[in-house]
Structure 1
Amino acid sequence: MFEKRMTAGGGSDSGDVDSGYAWWRLVLTLILGTVACVGNWSVVVLLPTLQVEFDTVRGGASLPYTCTMLGFAFGGVVMGRLADRVGIVVPVLIGAFLLCVGYILAALTTNIWQFAAFSLVIGLGSAAGFAPLISDLSLWFSRHRGLAVAFAASGSYLSGAVWPMVIEHFQTTQGWRATHVGIGIFIPLVMVPIGLLLKRRLQTVTYVQAEAVTEAARTELGLSPNALQVVLVVAGFACCMAMSMPQVHIVAYCGDLGYGVAVGTQIIALMLGLGVVSRLASGAVADRIGAGPMLILGSSMQAAALLLYLYFNSKSSLYVISGLFGLFQGGIVPMYAVIIRKYLPPREAGIRISLVLMATVLGMACGGLAAGYIFDATGSYRLAFLHGFLWNCVNLALVIWLILWPRQRRRQQALAT
């Protein structure tokens, strides 16, 4: 019932792409991402508690977040490659198992190093809910690919809007250890049945048609696949070095300012909830103006929001600025996936997209850790925000060059002839 017929001329998409089934798959993907990406945010809420529980400094308490992000980054590449070969179901089932084990064992730890080790396992499991899902869903859409990719990527932010509030509540009433055990039991109960509903694979003709389109676009761009991959990897790392400061440390920052952990949790939920709005809106806009211009717009606005954090820190201003930050930066990361699907081979979508998203996650991991140590060294987050802004400038320079390069190349070719 979800099938769409090919036109008589054979020039349209196969019965898979942009079909009713593709939209149904989008809904399941969003739910999976929301559930699986809990690992990215539970440790953020827990950061002040870990610092007290394990008697460590702010940088040490940031270590589990970094380990989670490392697992998330490298797990995304492995699972993305696995999705290219055998489909999305296997990575989802593996992710559910790893999250179950990671959360339950993390609840039994007695020091920060043990907790960090199991945070790595949690990150590996959460990886199934991001890059592999984005690459898989991008194959099922053509006309609305930007919006579809934004939906798939929004699972991570919707997770950040929902889970911190849930975790903060149960951490307060039941303790963080019992909360972790509960998460470990809940995750596979949701992920396994939904993952099994995604068994259907694309038709071979779909890949053939898509490859012809990407090859033509790549020729016009004038960059080799590997050259484009490198540019996007560096740009992705830089943007998330900038993005990490508010996302990772806003709860602790609010605690330091005397507003309390609950306020910080509300702010990060607001930030990431509006990030979902931003991602969906940016996907719709990208389908009209292109992923490149949308990427420049998002990066520019993120830089502006980071500057605002330098000058305002009242409770009301943090709500406003963090809301703006969520709206400004939410659409950046999905645009990398849209660009890859436009220019690079579709049969390599899983590994190609995962490599760039690995770079973004490593940026989050390194940025979060760096901000923690900058705070320990200076007693303030002011330089940490400035550090993020400078990395944002690197990202902006790269994406502007990427957009201008084809025009400059065509101009040089025209002058040569």
Structure 2
Amino acid sequence: MPVTDSTYSWIRLVLTLAIAMIANVGMWAIIVIMPAVEAEFGAGRAEASMPYTLTMIGFALGNFVIGKAVDRFGVTVSLVAAATGIALGFGLATLSQSIAMLSVAQLLVGFSSAVGFGPLIADISHWFLRRRGIAVALVASGNYLSGAIWPMVLADMLEATGWRSVYLFMAGVTLVGVIPLSMALRRRIPAEAQIAAQSQSLQNARSSGLSPRALQYLLGLAGIGCCVAMSMPQVHIVSYCVDLGYGPAVGAEMLALMLLGGVGSRIVSGLVADKLGGVKTLLIGSALQCLALFLYLPSGGLVSLYIVSLIFGLSQGGIVPSYALIVREYMPAKEAGARVGFVMMATILGMALGGWMSGWIYDVSGSYQLAFINGILWNGLNIAIMLWLLSRSRPRSPVTVPA
């Protein structure tokens, strides 16, 4: 029986997705409690946003550091340590007497929560060859599904008992949910399967003419470019709707449309990647995202904004998972955790940079029009890098490895 794309591989995929949906709550919970934190500490909007900023910085660093740990110690050890870190961060947050203390706790929460994104994507990629695209896409969707499900689950508890109760509850859920499930992932990929994957990725790397390190940095730059563009609607759509007079509720609905569209996009992109490979799939997604950003420029009506927001979500969801596929196609299998983690870190930093940059452009110009154009230009950088990489190499089709 084959090691990859086996029955066990699919069981492992389901368990990994469940873990991702729990572990990723760390980056969404702070958004849910932010208004309550702002009211409790009498903070301004910018100050109340600092815990979220620290969460995302931690999340970016955690993707790289925990990814390296997965390569060395395996995913189970990394998950147990990270789940403990998430619970500890939530616990410390409940003791906070200031925004600064909460921000430090959120740095730990964000760092540890990263185990549910890049590191899990890297791990599941070892267990699939022919269906690696859809496997990676489904695990990556755990982040969006976590963001869609947990805020609704926690809303009533927040209103009834306060944000500290919410955090204590999530600390318990993380420990009880992630650690037992991680024990089912103790099996390691056989050495012969990893050697076969290594041989294939080396052939692809030679065809590109780039060293793994050079390609990693190039993908990191591309990730920053696409996510600076991606952040404009995702981070600012609520504020944009408020400026247009539609109110924050409408903006929140448009954001939900983006996230749900993103889940669908990730699944479809995964199926496409299994046929075309990571580079072509990323190029398609990036081109569609650029088109969606162009559509925002003339859109000011309520209906048109809903439609364009859905189009944007359906366009961009598959972009980030495609980077993980490219890493696996071109880079050493034994370094997958660190390499995928680095590129995921770059995409998250791109989101952070783009969110700030769009706000700065708005402050200077008094309009989001130039911010959309800025996103289009950064998106163009991503497209140019993918076209250049595609012109230099032709990844070989994967071959299933027998046990």
Which residue does 1:184 correspond to in 2? 171
CA distance in 2, matches of 1:225, 1:344: 6
Instruction: In structure 2, give the amino acid aligned to 1:354.
Output: G
Contact map agreement 1:87 1:201 (CA 8 A) in 2: yes
Contact map agreement 1:45 1:265 (CA 8 A) in 2: no
1:143 match: secondary structure: coil
CA distance in 1, matches of 2:101, 2:367: 28
Which residue does 1:10 correspond to in 2? none
Q: 1:269 to 1:106 in 2, by over 3 A?
A: farther
Contact map agreement 2:41 2:98 (CA 8 A) in 1: yes
CA distance in 2, matches of 1:305, 1:111: 41
Confirm or deny that 1:106 pairs with 2:93.
yes
1:311 match: secondary structure: coil
Determine which of 371, 374, 378 is the counterpart of 1:391.
378
Which residue does 2:119 correspond to in 1? 132
Instruction: In structure 2, give the amino acid aligned to 1:88.
Output: V
Which residue does 2:281 correspond to in 1? 294
Instruction: In structure 2, give the amino acid aligned to 1:200.
Output: R
Shift of 1:272: 1.2
CA distance in 1, matches of 2:181, 2:332: 28
Deviations 1:136-164 (Å, cap 9, x if unpaired)?
Answer: 10010111111111112111111122223
Which residue does 1:277 correspond to in 2? 264
Normalising by structure 1, report the TM-score.
0.86
Q: 1:316 to 1:117 in 2, by over 3 A?
A: farther
Instruction: In structure 1, give the amino acid aligned to 2:70.
Output: A
Which residue does 1:205 correspond to in 2? 192
Q: Structure 2: which 5+ runs fail to align?
A: 395-403
1:198 match: secondary structure: coil
Normalising by structure 2, report the TM-score.
0.89
Q: Which sits farther off after the overlay, 347-356 or 94-103? A: 94-103
Which residue does 2:26 correspond to in 1? 39
2:130 match: secondary structure: coil
Contact map agreement 1:58 1:373 (CA 8 A) in 2: no
CA distance in 2, matches of 1:20, 1:288: 21
Q: Which sits farther off after the overlay, 353-362 or 44-53? A: 44-53
Q: 1:264 to 1:121 in 2, by over 3 A?
A: farther
Shift of 1:52: 5.3
Which residue does 2:320 correspond to in 1? 333
Instruction: In structure 2, give the amino acid aligned to 1:166.
Output: V
Shift of 1:273: 1.8
Which residue does 1:320 correspond to in 2? 307
Q: Which runs of 4+ in 1 moved over 6 A?
A: none
Determine which of 53, 67, 77 is the counterpart of 1:80.
67
CA distance in 2, matches of 1:118, 1:186: 18
Contact map agreement 1:214 1:345 (CA 8 A) in 2: yes
Contact map agreement 1:69 1:364 (CA 8 A) in 2: no
Determine which of 404, 411, 414 is the counterpart of 2:391.
404
Q: 1:326 to 1:404 in 2, by over 3 A?
A: same
Which residue does 2:397 correspond to in 1? none
Confirm or deny that 1:229 pairs with 2:210.
no
Contact map agreement 2:204 2:393 (CA 8 A) in 1: no
Q: Which sits farther off after the overlay, 81-90 or 303-312? A: 303-312
Q: Report percent identity of matched pairs.
A: 47
Deviations 1:93-113 (Å, cap 9, x if unpaired)?
Answer: 122112212223324434332
CA distance in 2, matches of 1:267, 1:188: 33
Determine which of 5, 10, 15 is the counterpart of 1:28.
15
Instruction: In structure 1, give the amino acid aligned to 2:63.
Output: G
Confirm or deny that 1:306 pairs with 2:306.
no
CA distance in 2, matches of 1:384, 1:118: 32
CA distance in 1, matches of 2:326, 2:128: 14
Contact map agreement 2:135 2:270 (CA 8 A) in 1: yes
Shift of 1:200: 0.7
CA distance in 2, matches of 1:364, 1:404: 27
CA distance in 2, matches of 1:383, 1:51: 30
Q: 1:73 to 1:331 in 2, by over 3 A?
A: same
CA distance in 1, matches of 2:25, 2:377: 29
Which residue does 1:243 correspond to in 2? 230
2:181 match: secondary structure: helix
CA distance in 1, matches of 2:373, 2:314: 20
Q: 1:374 to 1:107 in 2, by over 3 A?
A: farther
Determine which of 329, 341, 346 is the counterpart of 1:354.
341
Determine which of 152, 155, 162 is the counterpart of 1:165.
152
Q: Which sits farther off after the overlay, 352-361 or 365-374? A: 365-374
Q: Structure 1: which 5+ runs fail to align?
A: 5-14, 408-417
